[in-house]
Chain A
Amino acid sequence: MQKHKASWMYSWAACLLGFLAVLIFSSPGLAKEEEVVKVGVVAAIKHMMGQQTWAGAEMAAEEINAAGGIKVGGKTYKIELVKADSNEWASISDAVGAMERVITLDKVKMVMGGYRSEAVLAMQDVAAEYKTIYFSIGAGHSQIALRLVQDYEKYKYWFRGGKPQSLYGGIVGIAVVDMVANKFKKELGIEKPKVAMIAEKVLWADETLKFMKMMCEKKLGLEVVYVTQPSNASNDLRVELNAAKASGAHILIHLVSGPVGVAFGRQWGSLKIPLAAVGYNAEAMKKEYWKTTEGLCEYEALVDYVSSAAVNERSVKFWKNYEKKYNDYPMECALSYNHLYQWKESVEKAGTFDADKVIVELLKNRFEGPGGVYRYEPKDAKFPHDLVWAPDGASTYGIQWRKGEKKTIWPDGNALTWFGDPRWKGIRFKGTVDYAFPPWVVDYWKKNK
Chain B
Amino acid sequence: MAGGSDAGCWGKLLAGSAGGVRFKEIGGKLIVLFAIFLNGLLYGGTYALLAVGFALVFGVAKIVNMAHTGFYMMSAYLIFIGVSILGYPLIVAALLTVVGAGLIGVIAYRLFLDRIKEHETAVMIVSVGLALLIQELLLLFFGGHYKAIPPFIHGFITISDQQVSYQSILAIVVSAVALFVVWFLLSKTMLGIAIRAAAEDREAASLMGFNVGRISMIIMGISVVLAAVASSVAASIFTIFPTMWLHPLVIVLAAVILGGLGSIKGSVIGALILGFAESIVVLTVPKGGYLGGVVSLCIMIVILMIRPEGLFGISFEEERL
Contact = CB atoms under 8 A, between A and B. Distances in A.
A and B touching (C-beta < 8 Å)?
yes
Interface of A: 44, 46-48, 51, 89, 142, 146, 165, 167-168, 170-171, 200-201, 207, 210-211, 213-215, 224-236, 238-243, 245-247, 258-263, 266-267, 270-273, 283, 286, 288, 292-294, 366, 375, 377-378, 380-383, 386, 388-390, 393, 419-421
Given A231-B282, A270-B156, A388-B4, A171 B10 contact: yes
B282 A234 contact: yes
A263 B35 contact: no
B26 A227 contact: yes
B289 A246 contact: no
B23 A271 contact: no
B11 interface: yes
Given A165-B14, A211-B21, A243-B32, A390 B7 contact: yes
Given A48-B145, A236-B237, A242 B13 contact: no
Contacts of B1: 366, 375
A167 B17 contact: yes
B32 A238 contact: no
B319 interface: no
A377 B289 contact: no
Interface in B196-255: 237-239, 241, 244, 247
Given A201-B287, A201-B289, A263-B238, A292 B148 contact: yes
Contacts of B22: 210
Contacts of A46: 139-140, 143-144
Given A262-B239, A267-B165, A272-B163, A378 B156 contact: no
B146 A292 contact: yes
B144 A271 contact: no
Interface of B: 1, 3-5, 7-11, 13-15, 17-18, 20-23, 25-27, 29-30, 32, 35-36, 39, 139-140, 143-148, 150-151, 154-156, 161-165, 168, 237-239, 241, 244, 247, 279, 282-283, 287-290, 292-293
A386 B9 contact: no
B283 A228 contact: yes
A421 B8 contact: yes
Nearest to A235: B239
Given A229-B288, A243-B35, A271-B156, 13 more contacts: A48-B143, A167-B14, A210-B20, A210-B23, A211-B13, A226-B30, A229-B27, A239-B283, A243-B30, A245-B163, A260-B239, A380-B3, A420-B9
Q: Across the A-B interface, give the 8 residue pairs with the lowest CB-CB distance, nearest first.
A: A201-B289, A388-B4, A231-B289, A259-B239, A47-B144, A271-B163, A235-B239, A211-B17
A292 B39 CA distance: 23
A167 B289 CA distance: 22
Contacts, number: 180
A272 B241 CA distance: 25
Contacts of A271: 156, 163, 165
Contacts of B247: 233
A381 B241 CA distance: 41
A393 B4 contact: yes
A227 B32 CA distance: 14
Contacts of A229: 25, 27, 287-289
Nearest to B11: A382
Contact of A242 (B20, B140, B145, B163): B163
Contacts of B156: 270-272
B76 to A, nearest CB: 12
Residue from the set A46, A214, A393 with the largest chain B CB neighbour count within 10 Å: A46
B4 A377 contact: yes
Given A201-B287, A214-B21, A239-B283, A381 B5 contact: yes
Contacts of A242: 32, 35, 162-163
A288 to B, nearest CB: 8
B251 to A, nearest CB: 11
A99 B62 CA distance: 45
A210 B144 contact: no
B9 A207 contact: no
A381 B4 contact: yes
Contacts of B140: 46
A225 B145 CA distance: 33
Given A230-B282, A238-B39, A270-B165, A246 B13 contact: no
B143 A381 contact: no
Given A239-B283, A262-B146, A377 B3 contact: yes
Interface hub of A224, A243, A366 (most chain B Cβ within 10 A)? A243
Contacts of A165: 14
B43 to A, nearest CB: 9
Nearest to B237: A236
